[in-house]
Chain A
C-alpha cells in the first residue's frame, strides 16, 4: 500500500497517548511505514544509525528525533508528523507517556481533535492510561480510540483483550466518554495497524487506520453565538483596526457589537484584509480578522465582543477544574496571572474544594495547595472583573491558563460563575450603558480636544489625614497645567441631589455610594478628571473603591489612601501617603500616576494616543 496522493480536502489533529512503553512511537512508525508515508531514505537512515550504534532497529526510532530519546527508548517531547490518507491530512501528535513529561503530553493533547490511547495488553490498564484518559476529557478531546497493543505478547488471546476493553470502557464511562473503537493490535508486527490481522480473526472491527477514518471533524462553532476577543488595536495608517480571532459564531458589516466587560457598543463599519479582493464583509469562527467601527470608542485587548442579547458572563470569580503542571505547588492566596482568550489579569485561588487524584479518580478535601500533575476543583478570584463563558457552552472563552513565574503552569475549564458583591452595580451599569443616549461628540473626540482622558482620583482615609487638602491641591495643579478637572465632594450631593431624602434613606451607605458613582459617571462622560474625597459614606474604604470602579468602568479610578501613620492601605489602593508633610510632592506623585495609567499625555498639549491601562 502507498499513501494516497489525492488532494486532501480536510485535516484532523490526532494525539497519541498512553502509559510509557506501551508502544506509541512504534505504532506511529509502523503506521507511516505500512502506508508508504515515510520519505525515501528515512528508514535507511535510521537503520544505518542503529547499525552504527550496534543496536536493533525499532520502528519507534523513526520519530524519536533526539539521540537521548533513542538511547533511553522514551519520547521526551511531543512530535508533530503529517500523513495523508483518503483525502484527509492527519497531523499526528506523538505525546510522551512518561509521568515526568506530562506537561508535554498536555501541550500535545490540547491541540488535538481526537485521540488514540494505547494500552499494553501484557500490562493492562496502568496509572497513565487512567490519567491520560481523564486529562483528555478535561482538555475537551471527546473522540477517543483505544488501541490495545502488544497482543503478540499475550498470544493474541481474545479474553485478554476483552478484559482490558471492559475495564477501560467502564472507566471512560465515568467521564462520559464513549470510545470510538477498541482495537487489538501488535504494532511491532503490524497486526491491525494498516492491514487486518490473520492472527486475530476473532476481531471484526476496524484497523487503526480505519479508526482514524471514523473520527469526525468538528465544525459547529460558527453556529454558536458570537465571541470575538480583541487581540490588539492597530493604527498603522488612517484606519483604527481591532484585530482578533473570532472564536465562536459569525459577524458581518453593520452588526452591532457589545464589548464586555466595558459595556461599550458600536457597529462594524468594515472587515479589513490584505490581498483579498473584493474586501470581505463577514467572518466566522476560526478566522483571524481586523474590523473597524463606526464610532471611536476605547477598546483594549482582552475585551470580548458579542451581540447584546448574548453577552458572556462577567464576574471577578468563577469555579473551575484545573490541572497543575508547575514546579511549585499552586497555593491558596498566592498571586498568579490568569490568561483567558486575550485577557490577562492577576488572580488568586480563593478556595480549593477538592483535589481529584487522576490515578484513580479519588477525591481529597481540605487541601491548601495543588501539587504538580494534580487536578483540582477550585474557585479563582481575579483582581478586576473579566468576561468569560462556561466551558460547556463555549470552548475558547470557557478555558484559561495560569502563569507562575515565567511559564504557563496550569490550565482549566470554567464550570460555574461565582457571584461577587459587585454584581448588582455591574448589572445596573450594563443596563445604563447599553441604553445610554449619546451625543455627536464621543469620548475619543473629547480626549483629543482636552489633551487627556477622563478618570477618577479617589482619596480615601480617616478624618484629619489631609484628604481634602490634597484633593484641592491636586485639582488646582491639574487646572494650572491646562487639564480639565473638577472636585466632586459628596457633601454637595447630600445638600442638592439628595435633599429630598429622609434621614434613614441618607443613612443607606450603599445607596449614597451608588448615587455618588452615577454622578461621577456623568462627569466622566463629559471628559473630566474627577477629584474626590469619600468621607461621608460610612462604608469600608475598599468597598467604596470597588463600587465606584464598577460604576465608572472602564474609566480608570486611581485610589489614593491617606493615613497619619504607616499602616496597611485598603485593598485596591494605587498610592498610599502616610503622614505626608509635603502635599505638593504628593500631588505631583498623583500626576505621575495619571501619566502612567495613560490618562495624561506626557507632554502638555500632546494628544494622548494610547489606550487606558486599567
Chain B
C-alpha cells in the first residue's frame, strides 16, 4: 500500500479517536503547509465535514497573504474559525526585539493558553511532526498538558497499539498530534496527490527565494530556492540536507525545548 495512504489512514484514525473522546475539541490552524494538510485530513476523516472549530493564534505579525488565504478557505470550506490574540501583550508593545523566546511565549503560548482557558477546550489537535526538531520527535500522539499547559516530558504516559490517552483530570487538556509520523517530504507529496490549496509563499515567485516554513514575518526568513511548483519543491527536498526550520529564529540554541515545555505548540 502507498506510504502516503498509510500515513493518511493513521492520521484519520487518530482524528476520529479524538472526535469520539473529546467533547470540547478544537484544531489549531496556522495556515502553514502542515496544519492545512491536517485540516484536509479532518475533511477526509469526517467525509467532507470539519466538526470542530479551527483556532488561529494571531500574533498580528503574520504575513498578510496568510490572512487572506485563511479567510478564503474558511468561507469555501465552511469552517468555524476562532481567532485568539494576546491583546494585552500587544497593547503593551510586545514584539520580537524584546527577545524571540519572550515574544513567542507571549504572543503564541500565552495567547493559546488564554484561548484554551476561555473556551474550555479539553483536546487541541496540532500539526507538529516528529522530524521537525528534537523535542517533537519525542511526542506522543495524545500528549497531556497540565493546568498551566506545561508538558512533563520526563513522565509521559505509555501509548501503544493505537490506544491513546483520552482520560485526564479536570483542568488539564490533551494535545493531539495526528501528523507525528509525517516528514516534510510526505507533506508536499500529499499536497500534490490531493491537490490541496496552499499559500504561494512556499514557492519561488521570481526572486530566487521561497519560504520553507512559515511563521511571523520578523522571525521567518526565506531560503534560496528556485522551486516554482510543488513538483520542484519535492525534487528539492529529496536532495537537500538543510534543516527545514533553519529559517525559524526561535529554534536557535535551546529555544524550542524551553518553549515547548511551557506549552508552545
Residues of A within 8 A of B (CB): 5, 7-8, 10-11, 36, 38-42, 49, 63, 65-68, 76-82, 89, 91, 103-104, 106-107, 110-111, 139, 231-232, 234, 236-237, 239, 241, 243, 245, 272-275, 284, 286-288, 290, 301, 325, 339, 396, 399, 401, 403, 405-409, 411
Contacts and interface: CB of A to CB of B under 8 A. Distances in A.
A63 B20 contact: no
Interface stretch (B22-30, B90-98, B128-136): B128-136
Contact of A290 (B47, B137, B156, B180): B47
Interface string B5-17: 1101110110011
A7 B238 contact: yes
A8 to B, nearest CB: 7
B49 interface: yes
Contact of A406 (B17, B51, B165): B165
Nearest to B241: A40
Contact of A79 (B44, B51, B138, B154): B138
B199 to A, nearest CB: 20
A139 B158 CA distance: 14
Given A76-B154, A411-B160, 7 more contacts: A7-B238, A103-B157, A110-B161, A231-B16, A287-B5, A401-B163, A406-B167
Contacts of A396: 161-162
Query: Among B3, B158, B238, B246, which residue has the most Cβ atoms of chain A within 10 A?
Result: B158
Nearest to A246: B9
Given A68-B154, A288-B9, A232 B19 contact: yes
Contacts of A408: 157-160, 163, 165
A331 to B, nearest CB: 19
Interface string B120-148: 00000000001101110110100000000
Nearest to B246: A41
A66 B238 contact: no
A81 B133 CA distance: 10
Interface string B242-255: 11101000000110
B156 to A, nearest CB: 6
Given A231-B16, A408-B159, A411-B161, A8 B137 contact: no
A63 B131 CA distance: 11
B225 to A, nearest CB: 14
B21 to A, nearest CB: 10
Contact of B239 (A5, A107, A139, A237): A5
Contacts of A273: 44, 47
B180 A11 contact: no
Contacts of A301: 20
Contacts of A80: 130-131, 137-138, 180-181
B9 A274 contact: no
9 contacts: A41-B243, A41-B246, A67-B257, A81-B137, A231-B17, A236-B49, A287-B9, A406-B157, A407-B158
Contacts of B9: 245, 286-288
Contacts, number: 159
A405 B160 CA distance: 17
A39 B16 contact: no
A40 B44 CA distance: 35
A236 B13 contact: no
Interface residues of B, number: 57
B183 interface: yes
B189 to A, nearest CB: 9
Nearest to A222: B1
B45 A39 contact: no
A240 to B, nearest CB: 11
Contacts of A40: 241-243, 246
Nearest to A38: B241
Given A232-B19, A234-B46, A10 B3 contact: yes
Contacts of B183: 82, 89
A81 B134 CA distance: 9
B43 interface: yes
Contacts of B5: 287
A8 B186 CA distance: 11
A271 B6 CA distance: 18
Contacts of A81: 130-131, 137
Contact of A286 (B6, B47, B169, B257): B6
B135 A104 contact: no
B168 interface: yes
B118 interface: no
B48 interface: yes
A245 B1 CA distance: 15
Contact of A67 (B159, B194, B254): B254
A106 B158 contact: yes
Interface of B: 1, 3, 5-6, 8-10, 12-13, 16-17, 19-20, 43-49, 51, 130-131, 133-135, 137-138, 140, 153-154, 156-163, 165, 167-169, 180-181, 183, 194, 238-239, 241-244, 246, 253-254, 257
Given A39-B241, A79-B134, A275 B160 contact: no
Chain A to chain B: the 5 pairs with minimum beta-carbon distance, closest first? A65-B134, A110-B160, A39-B243, A288-B12, A80-B130
A261 to B, nearest CB: 20
A543 to B, nearest CB: 33
Nearest to B135: A65
Contact of A66 (B12, B43, B135): B135
Query: Among B1, B17, B161, B168, which residue has the most Cβ atoms of chain A within 10 A?
Result: B161
A40 B1 CA distance: 32
A77 B168 contact: no
B92 to A, nearest CB: 30
A274 B48 contact: yes
Query: Among A66, A76, A284, which residue has the most Cβ atoms of chain B within 10 A?
Result: A66
Contacts of A399: 161
Contacts of B47: 234, 236, 239, 241, 272-274, 290
Contact of A41 (B43, B167, B242): B242
A517 to B, nearest CB: 32
A41 B246 CA distance: 9
Contacts of B134: 63, 65-66, 79
A288 B163 contact: no
A286 B1 contact: yes
A7 B160 CA distance: 29
A339 B165 CA distance: 11
Nearest to A247: B162
B131 A339 contact: no
Contacts of B137: 63, 65, 79-81
B13 A288 contact: yes
Contact of A65 (B46, B161, B169, B257): B257
B153 A76 contact: yes
A106 B262 CA distance: 26
B133 to A, nearest CB: 8
Given A79-B134, A80-B137, A401-B161, A288 B45 contact: yes
Given A38-B241, A232-B20, A273-B47, A66 B13 contact: no
B5 to A, nearest CB: 8
B3 A82 contact: no
Contact of A91 (B138, B163, B181, B239): B181
A104 B254 CA distance: 23
Contacts of B48: 236, 274
A245 B165 CA distance: 19
Contacts of A42: 243
B160 A107 contact: yes
Contact of B157 (A10, A65, A139, A407): A407
